[in-house]
Amino acid sequence: MAEIFLDAISHRYDGSAPWALRDVELRWRDGGAYALLGPSGCGKTTLLGIISGLIQPTRGRVHYAGKDVTQLASRERNIAQVFQFPVVYDTMTVRQNLAFPLRNRGLPAAEIARRVDRIAEALELTEQLPARATRLTADQKQILALGRGLVREDVAAILFDEPLTVIDPHRKWRLRRKLKEIHKQFRHTLIYVTHDQTEALTFADEVVVMQDGEILQRGTPEQLFRRPAHTYVGYFIGSPGMNVLPCELVREAGGLHARVAGHRVEIAGGDGVPAMLDGALELGIRPEHVTIAGAGAGAPGDAGDGLPVAVTAVEDHGRFRVVTGVLADHRLKLRIGDDPGAPPAPAVGATVHVRFPPEHICLYRDHRIVLPPEPAP
């Protein structure tokens, strides 16, 4: 296992092509579990290929445990890789597939058997050990490919490129849990590429959000949810994503507040906003944090309190409902839980009045966060 440091990595596939990666700088500690998250084409698979040695970066250096490995081939970096589509040996049994990377390293037969049995049990493959791999289903083959990466204990890192794509949703949840258990036990350095926020947020200790070849933010799942550093992160993380509304700041003797669609909105921590702030300003608020004014009194809304929102849709998701409405010309979403204190869902066509709790508001300039300020290290 190793600390991995990416030093100012940039890459494009030919001299006239757009940059697939631009000035990526990352340091991942030894034994951590990380996810690269972003939409298709954002550069995450290219970055994984540079980490693995399958791609040589146009600029920048790759370091493993302080050693420059930029020019080393993939086989010289001592890593394991699990790809989107399973790579298994159909003519071998499941046991032989799991044992293959260990036999290549000359481990004793007893040690091979111990590791194979342990990983097979963790991945619920014990009953399939004698079976030929060709008889496995598509999701079982992917699980077997995962096992081949996990069975080695001497790897610098294990790299996963969207490995759960072909696995059914229920088993996918169980496998993520199993991967976390295995990581806690053996502390491999794991790097997991996905476009699925649920996979990233439930698997990783730290998530790196990418867009258009750049890193927008890295942090824990809680940090990404509570303080998105970029409006795209707010949109991409969460279900539904963050509401982002144009606003302006108003400074008065009583302090600083925002105006959204002509309505006053109180904000917290106004002292942290630069006095000469200008440019395009946006207010971000999670649907979970939007509240219906007057709900505590049992009324769906109070005409004299809050921002007026015309309800255009109500979706029932079982444990919560998503209300979509329009505030002036801007779409707004609310998420209402099913707890006993939750207000009733308003009817389509109704007008409700909503509040934005100041402690949950983020302010952005040119899509980058300005409030709340960066936490002190």
Residue by residue, DSSP assigns 66-78 as: TEE-TTS-GGGS-
Residue 240, helix vs strand vs coil: coil
Structure tokens at 174: 């169980």
Residue 190 dihedral angles phi and psi, to the nearest 5°: -115, 130
Is the pLDDT assigned to residue 246 strictly greater than 80? yes
Q: Within 10 Å of residue 305's Cβ, how many Cβ atoms?
A: 11
Residue 198 corresponds to which amino acid? Answer: T
* Sign of the CA dihedral with 192 first, then 196, 201, and 206 last: positive
Structure tokens at 247: 């606003």
Residue 174, helix vs strand vs coil: helix
Residue 278 is predicted with a pLDDT of 58
Q: Which of 80, 64, 47, 69 is nearest to 3 (CA)?
A: 64
Residue 376 is predicted with a pLDDT of 57
Residue 150 C-beta-side C-alpha neighbours within 13 Å: 27
Is the pLDDT assigned to residue 139 strictly greater than 90? no
Contacts of 132 (CB under 8 A, 6+ apart): 90, 91, 92, 93, 94
Structure tokens at 178: 């199993």
pLDDT, tens digit, for every residue of 18-69?
Answer: 999 999 999 999 999 999 999 999 999 999 999 999 999 999 999 999 999 9
Is the pLDDT assigned to residue 374 strictly greater than 80? no
Residue 193, helix vs strand vs coil: strand
pLDDT, tens digit, for every residue of 97-132?
Answer: 999 999 988 999 999 999 999 999 988 899 999 999
Structure tokens at 181: 């258990």
Listed ranges 81-85, 154-158, 215-219, 272-276; the one with the highest mean pLDDT: 215-219
Please answer whether residues 34 and 192 qualify as being in contact, where contact means their C-beta atoms are separated by less than 8 angstroms. yes
Give the DSSP H or E segment for 14.
Answer: none
